[in-house]
C-alpha cells in the first residue's frame, strides 16, 4: 500500500508531530492514478527481483487517513476563515475491505485471492501504518477462507517511536507526561476525523480511556501484531526527523537523540516473544533493518531496494534491503541488521558511506503492468 501525507484543516497539515508535508490534492483522489504502472523496487518485473513474478496489487494512498478511516463527510474548516469549509471522505479501511472483496471474487488476469498460498502484505510510509492497523485482521480473513495461506508483512518506514509505553508506563497511567497529547490526538483525528478502524486485539485489551494507545502504531507493532512482519526504518529518516526536531510535544530532540531512540526501539523488536503484550501467541521473530542512509522510503525504488547497502558496523558484511527481506521470507540469514547507535554529538547523524550504491543492471520485463481497480 502506498503512503503519503494527511491534513486536518482547510490550509495546513495535521499537527501530528510526524507530519508529512503540505497537502496535495492528488492525495485525496484516484482520479489521476491511470490504468497502467511500470513497477519499480519491490514491484519490479525483472530477474533482479525474486518477488517480481508474483501477482501484484497496489492500493494507492488517496484517503489521507493511513488506510484506517471509515468516515464519510468529515467537515474541515479553514483556520483563518472559519466560514470556508469542505467535506472529505476518510474511507481507507473501507477501501482495504473492498480491495479484498474484489480479489476474492476474482479480477481479470489474476487468480482469486482465496487460492493464494503466499501473501506478502506490504506498505511504505503511511501505507506501512495502514498495514499495521489492519495486518492481523486481514490475515485472519484470508486464513478463514484458506487455512493453508501464509500471510506475512513488509513494513517500510513509519516505525517512529512508541510514546505510549515510554519509560515503562502503562497505557492510561496519569503519570504519563504524554497522556493528554496522545489522548487528544486520538480523539481529534482517530475518532473525530477518520473513524479509524484499529487493531482488534489491542482495542479489546485497552478499552475506554486507554483506547488512544491503539492509535500509536509502534505501540501496536511492539505488543499486538501476531502476524509475522519485516520492518525497515532509517535512523535518520529525514521525513520524520525534520518534524520531530521541530516539535516539542513529546520532548526536545536533536537528529542524533531521535536516531538513538529509534535505534533502541528497533533493537528490541527481535525479542517480541519475551516482551510483547501478546507474547503467548507470537511464534515469529521479526526481520529488522535499521538503515542510516537518511532515506525515508526504500522499497518502491530500485536503486534503494536493490542498490543501497546496509551494515551493522563499518567492517561488517553489507546487504541490500531486497537481500535481507528475501532471507527472512525464505529462512535464510541474516534477517536483523541495524546500523550502529549514533553518538550524541555531532547532533547531525553521519550517513553510512555505502548508501550511495545503485541497483545492478538486469533485464526488465517489457510492457506496463495493468492495474485492476477494486472500486
52-75, pLDDT tens digit by residue?
999 999 988 888 899 999 999 998
Q: How far from chain centre, in Å, is Cα 78?
A: 29
Q: What is the pLDDT of residue 34?
A: 66
For cell 472483496, what's the residue? 101
* Residue 172 reports pLDDT greater than 70: yes
* Residue 267 reports pLDDT greater than 90: yes
| DSSP states along 118-129 | EEEEEEETHHHH
What is the spatial distance between Cα 361 and Cα 354, in angstroms, rounded to a whole number?
18
364: pLDDT confidence band, cut at 50, 70 and 90?
Answer: low
Reported as a single tens digit per residue, the pLDDT across 70-94 is 999 998 888 888 888 888 899 999 9
Q: Which residues of 93-106 are buried (b: 16+ CB within 10 A; e: fewer)?
A: bbbbbebbebbbee
In the numeric block, which cell numbers belong to residue 38?
511500470
Q: In the predicted model, what is the mean pLDDT of the chain? A: 86
Reported as a single tens digit per residue, the pLDDT across 221-241 is 999 999 999 999 999 998 887
- Side-chain half-sphere CA neighbours of 180 within 13 A: 3
* Residue 113 reports pLDDT greater than 90: yes
Q: Which of 76-80, 184-188, 191-195 is the least confident region?
A: 76-80
Q: Which residues contact 345 (CB under 8 A, 6 or more apart)?
A: 256
What average pLDDT score do residues 285-313 get? 94
Amino acid at each position: 500500500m502506498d503512503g503519503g501525507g494527511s491534513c486536518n484543516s482547510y490550509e495546513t497539515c495535521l499537527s501530528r508531530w510526524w507530519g508529512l508535508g503540505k497537502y496535495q490534492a492528488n492525495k485525496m483522489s484516484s482520479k489521476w492514478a491511470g490504468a497502467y504502472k511500470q513497477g519499480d523496487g519491490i514491484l519490479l518485473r525483472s530477474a533482479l527481483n525474486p518477488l517480481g513474478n508474483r501477482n501484484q496489487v497496489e492500493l494507492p494512498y488517496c484517503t489521507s487517513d493511513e488506510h484506517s478511516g471509515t468516515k464519510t463527510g468529515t467537515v474541515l474548516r479553514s483556520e483563518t476563515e472559519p466560514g470556508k469549509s469542505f467535506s472529505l471522505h476518510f474511507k481507507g479501511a473501507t477501501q482495504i475491505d473492498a480491495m479484498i472483496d474484489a480479489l476474492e471474487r476474482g479480477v481479470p488476469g489474476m487468480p482469486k485471492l482465496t487460492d493464494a498460498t503466499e501473501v506478502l502484505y506490504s506498505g511504505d510510509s503511511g501505507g506501512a501504518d495502514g498495514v499495521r492497523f489492519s495486518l492481523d485482521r486481514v490475515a485472519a480473513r484470508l486464513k478463514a477462507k484458506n487455512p493453508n495461506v501464509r500471510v506475512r508483512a513488509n513494513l517500510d518506514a513509519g516505525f517512529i517511536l512508541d510514546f505510549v509505553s515510554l519509560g515503562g508506563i502503562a497505557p492510561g497511567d496519569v503519570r504519563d507526561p504524554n497522556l493528554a497529547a496522545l489522548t487528544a490526538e486520538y480523539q481529534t483525528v482517530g475518532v473525530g476525523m477518520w473513524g479509524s478502524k484499529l487493531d482488534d486485539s489491542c482495542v479489546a485489551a485497552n478499552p475506554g480511556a486507554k483506547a488512544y494507545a491503539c492509535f500509536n502504531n509502534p505501540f501496536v507493532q511492539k505488543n499486538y501484531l501476531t502476524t509475522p512482519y519485516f520492518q525497515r526504518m532509517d535512523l535518520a529518516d529525514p521525513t520524520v526527523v525534520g518534524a520531530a526536531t521541530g516539535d516539542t510535544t513529546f520532548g526536545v530532540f536533536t537528529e542524533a537523540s531521535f536516531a538513538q531512540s529509534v535505534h533502541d526501539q528497533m533493537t528490541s523488536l527481535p525479542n517480541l516473544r519475551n516482551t510483547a503484550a501478546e507474547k503467548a501467541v507470537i511464534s515469529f521473530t521479526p526481520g529488522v533493518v535499521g538503515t542510516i542512509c537518511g532515506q525515508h522510503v526504500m522499497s518502491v525504488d530500485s536503486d534503494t531496494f536493490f542498490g543501497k547497502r546496509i551494515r551493522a558496523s563499518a567492517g561488517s558484511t553489507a546487504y541490500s534491503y531486497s537481500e535481507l527481506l528475501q532471507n527472512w521470507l525464505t529462512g535464510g540469514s541474516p534477517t536483523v541488521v541495524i546500523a550502529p547507535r549514533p553518538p550524541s554529538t555531532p547532533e547531525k547523524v553521519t550517513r553510512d558511506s555505502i548508501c550511495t550504491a545503485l541497483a545492478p543492471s538486469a533485464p526488465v520485463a517489457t510492457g506496463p503492468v495493468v492495474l485492476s481497480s477494486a472500486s
